[in-house]
Amino acid sequence: MTWYQKHLYNETQKVIASTRCKICRKPIGENDYLSFEERYFHAHCLKRPTLEQYSTVKRR
């Protein structure tokens, strides 16, 4: 990797680290993240179970 590629990579990582997760609104930081359509999400936020999965009431 050339110096310029390393520089671009580091700048991109800084931008991603300062952006906020669209689910929990906390900075991405150095946590694992996933991107979708130029939006960044914490990996653990996307893996959280939803309330519907815990619902004991069956819908008809």
pLDDT tens readout for residues 3-56 = 999 999 999 999 999 999 999 999 999 999 998 888 999 999 888 666 555 555
pTM over 0.75: no
Q: In this predicted structure, what is the pLDDT of residue 54? A: 52
**10 versus 60: which is more confidently predicted?**
10
* 43 burial via Cβ count (<10 Å: 0-12, 13-18, 19+): exposed
Q: In this predicted structure, what is the pLDDT of residue 46? A: 87
User: In angstroms, what CA-CA distances link 17 with 8, 21, 27, 51?
Assistant: 14, 10, 7, 29
Q: In this predicted structure, what is the pLDDT of residue 56? A: 52
Distance CA 39, CA 31 (A): 15
